[in-house]
Amino acid sequence: MLKSGAEIYRVEETITRICKACRIDNVEVFAMPTGIFVTLDNDSEKDSVSTYISRIRSGETDLNKISLVNQFSRDFTTTDLSVEAGLDRLHEIDRQKPYQFMVRLIGAAVVAACFSVMFGGNSMDFLCAFLIGLLCYTFSRFLSKFGINFFIRGMCSTALAAFIALIIAASLPDAAYQPIISGVIMLFVPGVAITNSIRDFLSGDMLAGLIRLVEAVLTAVSLAAGAGLILKLWGMIGGITF
Amino acid sequence: MLHLLTEFILAMFATAGFSLIFRVPIRHIPACVIIGACGWVTYEISMYYYSSPAMGCFLGACVVGILSTVAAHHLKDAATIFVIPGILCLVPGSGIFNTMLSMLQDDFTAAAEVGMQTLVMAGAIAIGLMITGAVLRVFYALVRKTVTLWDKF
């Protein structure tokens, strides 16, 4: 759930609710974007305190999983579902695959294209941004398959975007590079991290908020660095003078 | 007016794209799309009248916040699912780009200015979301209380 981009308080609340439904008296949950700690304590038995720690690696945003777990916890607490049946359902949720790659690819391309026009591009920019969006999203997925970290990934993706955009802008008179690059950057902008970090801050989870804020800032810096590097190099070889 | 309409449609498609990337459940995509487009149009309208990006982001985020909470309440799902795709249109991606561009031109005054603007916009989005979230939570709690009170009588 944390991996898929839920807020801290939602995770803590869900765990507490599920544990209460299992008739566990004292539950303490401490969740962070990098790990969850849960301590269970049953009053009726002695020495029955147990603690679980689960390390969390960052993953992809998957709102469908949040929705499913949300529904699950509601069902679990209101009906008397057995623990085994519940676990089965959770595993099933975990196994769910994201949309097909092609669908997401088209989504990504549409995003890049629409934003390039919203940032003042024309129809030529729309077309170019669509193609570059396709390419860059594929490239970013390709890099993540090799386990390359998010900083380098963001940098390389926007660098590729900037490079192609500059070539297109130099060869086609109608196209401008600014709207295309901004449009493609929107694809990789850490919107989820920013929104969640602020929400975590304001619900009192300072540590979690800080972690996500740093993540967002680093991603933004990587995007800017990637595009900036290529623009600067292009200027140095005399393509355009800014 | 025509300009706004095209912006609305573009924002709809952009939000739909984000919904696909972030895998919003299919039954919620229409709601997400409308929320995102409304947020962006609010931003555009307030840019037209006040020409202050921070104010635009704030109002846009307020609209997204209100609509998502209402949608979450009526479609019985977590508000995050509607907020995230909706808010992404407002996130200042071009701000990041322009900051970097002015840095490349060795114009650090402009970079500081645009960078600060971008930060303020991000802050405004967050504040808009928080305020609407808090207000609506109180509102729904009050509604529930009145309904239960009403049932007692």
User: Which domain, by its residues, includes A111?
Assistant: 101-236
Mean pLDDT along residues B58-84 = 83
CB contact under 8 A, B20 and A227: no
pLDDT of residue B16: 83
For A201, other C-beta atoms within 10 Å of its C-beta total 18
Q: Are residues A112 and A187 in the same domain?
A: yes
Of the candidates A39, A66, A95, which is a domain's last residue?
Answer: A95
Domain identity same for A106 and A90:
no
Q: What mean pLDDT do residues B75-84 have?
A: 78
Judgement on whether residues A108 and A189 belong to the same structural domain of the protein? yes
Indicate whether A86 and A203 sit together in one domain: no
pLDDT digits (tens, 9 = 90+) for A31-44: 777 777 877 776 66
ipTM at complex level? 0.72
Q: Is residue A242 part of a domain?
A: no
Comparison of pLDDT for B23 and B67, the residue scoring more: B67
Of A66, A109, A235, the CB nearest to B81: A66
Which of the listed residues A95, A110, A126 is the one where a domain comes to its end? A95
How confident is the model at residue A98, as a pLDDT?
61
Are B81 and A67 in contact (CB < 8 Å)?
A: yes
Task: Report yes or no on A105 lying in a domain.
Answer: yes
Q: Are residues A147 and A172 in the same domain?
A: yes
Number of domains in chain A: 2
Residues contacting residue B91 through CB under 8 Å, at least 6 positions apart: A186, A189, A191, A194, B122, B125
Mutation target to probe the B interface, by most B beta carbons within 10 A, among A75, A185, A195 is A195
pLDDT higher than 70, residue B46: yes
**Which of these three, A71, A95, A119, is where a domain ends?**
A95
Assess if residue A3 is contained within a domain: no
Q: Which residues of chain A have pLDDT under 70?
A: 1-7, 21-25, 42-48, 57-62, 77-84, 86, 94-99, 174-175, 238-242
User: Chain B partners of A67 at a C-beta cutoff of 8 Å?
Assistant: 25, 28, 77-78, 81
Number of domains making up chain B:
1
Q: What pLDDT is attached to residue A236?
A: 77
Q: Which domain holds residue B93?
A: 2-152
Domain-embedded: residue A161: yes
